Chains A and B, each alone.
Chain A
Amino acid sequence: MVLLQILNSASPVSQMIFFGTIGMLILTIGLIFLIIFHQKKIIRYQMALQQLEYQQQKMLLNASIKLQEEERQRLAADLHDDAGPLLATARLYLNENLVNLDKTTQLQNIYNAKQIIDETIQLIRNISHSLMPPTLKNFGLESAVNDLFQKISGAGTITGSARFHDYKERMPAEKELIVFRIIQELVNNILKHSNSSFIHITQNINGNSFFIRLHHDGKGLTQADFEKLNKSSGGLGLKNIQSRLNVLQGKIFFERDSSQTYYKITIELNLNDEDIKID
């Protein structure tokens, strides 16, 4: 009845009130529904992003575990295949002495056993150095990297050099170890896949950031290639690098220089983060 009164009324004020009220209510209800649906959409999108992040973290963790297992297997193989037979041979020579009473033969056997034990000691020392280089622990990152490049250059196929411009004060030991492993992994990748003739590392500090740059003239990766490999099921070494960088809250960037003659890898770390972040 009110509606009829309003519609029949000739007064523009009445009609304005009626239609204005309807309009405002429609706008308000529309706005409320829009907000509800828009927020639902945002939440769904955020959950999908979180899911993607979670999957990426899972992949990185799996890669890390797989690499750890591979290293253990390699260690076991080195000990079983190299150290085991050597020690067994040394034991044979010493056993021979119990039976053979001829002094010359005894001396010869002891000498042979000593040679084999020396070889075994050297082998175990090498295995231990590959697990934890003593140069890194005792003299720091710069010395360990120089040491690494000396060994690489010694092989003759590739020239390696390192130049640390601003490394007067050492980083904490755990951080140095992680950075060394990253450099080791990158250098291994370059040696295995790039076919380059030189690798050069430079280090410097800019403000609060610690930079390490690797240059090589072989076949390298761009940032797009790195991200693609990181998301795929392969590229274990790269995933390992990424998980180590996540611990240090650092960044890595792969690029080809403007002259297209060499590839550059830049690692950036924040100097102020003393605590290593472990998720």
Chain B
Amino acid sequence: MFFLFSGKKDRTLWVIFFYCLYTFLNDCLLMSSIPKRMTTGILSRNWLLNIFTVVEFILFASFFYLALQKKLVRKTILVISPIFLFFTIFYNFSTVTTFQSIPITIEGILILCLCIYYFFEQLNQMNNEFIYAKPEFWAVAGIMLYLAGTFFLFVQAGQLSSSTQKTFWVINLGCNVLKNIMFAVAFSIKKNNYQNLRSNSRISQTQLN
């Protein structure tokens, strides 16, 4: 709601907004009684989680495609994304009812690499803008914390029993909360704030004079 009413936003933040919306709907569906009654089919718990992986990857890849500036990296995203999506969809269809650790792990690695590249690109930009003044920084930090925190959980989730899964699912919930807090900070950094921070850096330069 805050996002919708807080003025004009970049396209990257719209992607994050749609991701948040989809996550919310997915969580609502997961918490409802439908997945518990269905062990197979598109609304079963594992199916919802596997589809979530695909949609999550599409949205995160779009975010980085819009946020990154180097053309070669953007082209790489365009090339790798269909390959990964094809692999995930094929893998999901071939092993229907179980939780798919491998696609999630690969997705996690790919997105974490993009997060690290984003920070590297920002450090190499020769400008006087503080990195934390950009909304994209907070979004990337949130994505990175979420994927790093849930990495080992999702790697092993397929092999865990349902009771152990439930015990460890709190890690996913905790990382989700952390990610959403970072997204909220990203949405709250208005364009005015961003430009105020730029002009403050100029003021501190004149104070040096």
Contact = CB atoms under 8 A, between A and B. Distances in A.
Contacts of B123: 35, 38-39, 42
Contacts of B205: 47, 50-51
Interface stretch (A25-33, A61-69, A169-177, A249-257): A25-33
Nearest to B202: A47
Interface residues of A, number: 30
A278 interface: no
A21 B152 contact: yes
Given A2-B167, A31-B119, A43-B201, A17 B132 contact: no
Nearest to B141: A32
B144 A28 contact: yes
A167 interface: no
Given A16-B152, A21-B151, 19 more contacts: A2-B170, A5-B167, A13-B159, A13-B160, A17-B152, A17-B153, A17-B156, A17-B168, A17-B171, A24-B149, A25-B149, A28-B144, A31-B116, A31-B119, A32-B119, A32-B144, A32-B145, A47-B204, A50-B205
B145 A28 contact: yes
Contacts of A40: 130
17 contacts: A2-B167, A5-B167, A17-B171, A21-B149, A21-B150, A28-B145, A29-B145, A31-B119, A31-B144, A32-B141, A35-B122, A35-B131, A42-B123, A43-B130, A47-B204, A50-B205, A51-B205
A28 B156 CA distance: 20
Contacts of A29: 145
Interface of B: 116, 119, 122-123, 126, 128, 130-132, 141, 144-145, 148-153, 156, 159-160, 164, 167-168, 170-171, 201, 204-205, 208-209
Contacts of A42: 123
Contacts of A47: 128, 201, 204-205, 208
Tell me whether chain A's interface is mostly helix, strand or loop, or mixed: helix
Interface of A: 2, 5-6, 11, 13-14, 16-17, 20-21, 24-25, 27-29, 31-32, 35-36, 38-40, 42-43, 46-48, 50-51, 54
A42 B120 CA distance: 13
B203 to A, nearest CB: 11
Nearest to A19: B152
A163 B43 CA distance: 90
Contacts, number: 76
B162 to A, nearest CB: 14
A32 B145 CA distance: 10
A130 to B, nearest CB: 38
A128 B92 CA distance: 91
A64 B156 CA distance: 72
Nearest to B182: A32
Contacts of A21: 149-153, 171
